[in-house]
C-alpha cells in the first residue's frame, strides 16, 4: 500500500512536522493514505445507493436549519460526500461550490481527472442542483441561497486558488488567510453560515458528520476567524485528515502581505483596509 498516493502522503509528511508535533511519522503516513483511500472508496459506494442513503458506519452530530437557505461551510478535511448525503437525507437540495476541472491541469494524472469528473457528477446527483464552478458564480450562489437552497463550500482555500478577498486569520500559530466571498454572499442573502465537517476514525473506518452551531452572517471577517479556529482545532486533533498540507507553504507565503498591512495582532478577521475589497465574491 505504500506506493499509493505518494505525492500527497510524502508531501504532507515533509511539511506537517514543521508545524505540529506528530510523534510517529510512519503512523501519520498510514493515516494520511487511509484518508485518501476512504475518500476514493466512498465514491463507488455512494453511486451504488439512493441519494439519501447513509451507511451504519456514518454517525451524525448536530442538525441543519429546518428551512430556508444557508451556507454549509466545510474544509478539505475528512470525507465530504457524507455531508452532502446527510443534507439530502434531511430534505435539503444543495449546490456545491468548486474550482473548475480542466483536463490540461491533469495531463500527468488522467485517472485523477476522470475520478474528479465522476465525483462531481455524483455530487450533483446527491444535491439535485448543478455545481457552481469558480470563478464567476456570484449570481448562481446568491440565487440558490435566496431561493432556500443550501450552498456547500470548502472554505480552507489558499490565495493561489482564490486570490481575491482573502482575509487574514491565524492557523496553526501562523499568519494565514481564508477567502471572504462566500461569507459576504451569505450576508447579502441574509442566511446563516453553518460550520460542518467529517471526522474519520482511521482504526475502525467509521465517520462522524459534525454540524456546528449556525453563525450570523453579519460579520464575514469574524466568521473567517471563527472557522480558522475550528480548523486549527481539527488539525491539531487529527492532522492526517487534512488534504491540503501540500498547499500550506505557498499559502503562508501568499498570506504574509495581508498581515504585514496591520500592526502586530490587528489583522485577525480583517481585510486590507476598513471596507470590503471589491470583487471578493466568488
How far is Cα 279 from Cα 235, in angstroms, rounded to an integer? 30
Question: Which is more confidently placed, 260 or 63?
Answer: 63
How far is Cα 43 from Cα 99, in angstroms, rounded to an integer? 19
Q: Is residue 52 part of a domain?
A: yes
**Of residues 67, 72, 17, the one with CA closest to residue 212:** 72
Question: Which is more confidently placed, 235 or 164?
Answer: 235
Contact 15/248 with Cβ under 8 angstroms? yes
Output the nine-digit C-alpha cell for 258: 495581508
Q: Which residue has the cell 473567517?
A: 224
Q: What is the pLDDT of residue 164?
A: 83
Work out whether strand 94-99 and strand 70-74 pair parallel, antiparallel, or are unpaired: unpaired
For residue 269, pLDDT over 60 is answered with no
Q: What is the pLDDT of residue 279?
A: 31
CA distance readout (Å), 93 to 146, 154, 250: 13, 17, 35
How far is Cα 212 from Cα 5, in angstroms, rounded to an integer? 31
Q: Is residue 280 part of a domain?
A: no
Q: Is residue 267 part of a domain?
A: no
For residue 275, pLDDT over 50 is answered with no
Q: What is the pLDDT of residue 268?
A: 53
Q: Is residue 18 part of a domain?
A: yes
Burial profile 199-218: b = 16 or more Cβ within 10 angstroms, e = fewer: bbebeeeebbbbbbebbebe
* Cα 103 to chain centroid, rounded: 22
Residue 190: pLDDT band (50, 70, 90) is very high
Q: Is residue 278 part of a domain?
A: no
Q: What is the pLDDT of residue 282?
A: 34
**Of residues 96, 84, 65, the one with CA closest to residue 207:** 84
For residue 200, pLDDT over 90 is answered with yes
232-240 mean pLDDT: 97
Average pLDDT for the chain: 89
Question: Which is more confidently placed, 158 or 107?
Answer: 158
Q: Is residue 214 part of a domain?
A: yes
250-276 mean pLDDT: 64
Kindly report which listed range (83-87, 113-117, 142-146) carries the lowest average pLDDT score. Answer: 113-117
Kindly report which listed range (83-87, 175-179, 194-198, 264-268) carries the lowest average pLDDT score. Answer: 264-268
pTM of the model: 0.90
Range of the domain at 248: 6-260
Q: Is residue 208 part of a domain?
A: yes
Q: Is residue 91 part of a domain?
A: yes
* Domain count for the chain: 1
Largest interatomic CA distance in the chain: 54
203-217 mean pLDDT: 95
Amino acid at each position: 500500500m505504500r506506493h499509493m498516493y505518494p505525492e500527497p502522503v510524502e508531501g504532507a509528511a515533509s511539511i506537517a512536522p514543521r508545524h505540529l508535533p506528530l510523534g510517529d511519522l510512519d503512523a501519520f503516513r498510514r493515516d494520511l493514505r487511509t484518508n485518501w483511500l476512504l475518500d476514493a472508496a466512498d465514491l463507488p459506494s455512494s453511486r451504488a445507493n439512493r441519494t439519501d442513503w447513509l451507511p451504519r458506519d456514518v454517525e451524525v452530530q448536530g442538525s441543519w436549519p429546518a428551512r430556508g437557505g444557508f451556507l454549509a461551510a466545510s474544509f478539505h478535511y475528512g470525507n465530504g460526500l457524507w455531508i452532502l448525503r446527510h443534507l439530502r437525507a434531511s430534505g435539503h437540495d444543495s449546490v456545491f461550490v468548486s474550482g473548475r476541472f480542466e483536463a490540461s491541469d491533469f495531463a500527468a494524472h488522467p485517472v485523477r481527472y476522470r475520478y474528479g469528473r465522476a465525483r462531481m457528477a455524483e455530487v450533483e446527483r446527491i444535491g439535485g442542483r448543478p455545481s457552481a464552478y469558480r470563478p464567476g458564480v456570484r449570481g448562481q450562489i446568491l440565487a440558490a441561497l435566496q431561493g432556500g437552497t443550501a450552498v456547500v463550500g470548502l472554505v480552507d482555500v489558499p490565495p493561489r486558488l482564490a486570490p481575491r478577498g482573502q482575509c487574514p486569520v491565524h492557523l496553526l500559530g501562523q499568519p494565514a488567510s481564508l477567502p471572504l466571498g462566500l461569507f459576504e454572499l451569505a450576508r447579502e442573502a441574509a442566511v446563516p453560515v453553518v460550520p460542518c465537517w467529517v471526522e474519520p476514525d482511521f482504526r475502525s473506518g467509521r465517520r462522524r458528520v459534525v454540524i456546528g452551531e449556525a453563525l450570523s452572517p453579519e460579520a464575514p471577517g469574524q466568521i473567517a476567524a471563527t472557522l480558522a479556529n475550528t480548523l486549527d482545532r481539527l488539525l491539531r486533533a487529527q492532522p492526517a485528515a487534512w488534504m491540503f498540507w501540500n498547499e500550506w507553504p505557498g499559502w503562508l507565503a501568499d498570506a504574509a502581505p495581508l498581515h504585514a498591512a496591520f500592526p502586530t495582532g490587528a489583522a485577525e478577521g480583517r481585510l486590507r483596509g476598513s471596507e470590503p475589497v471589491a470583487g471578493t465574491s466568488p
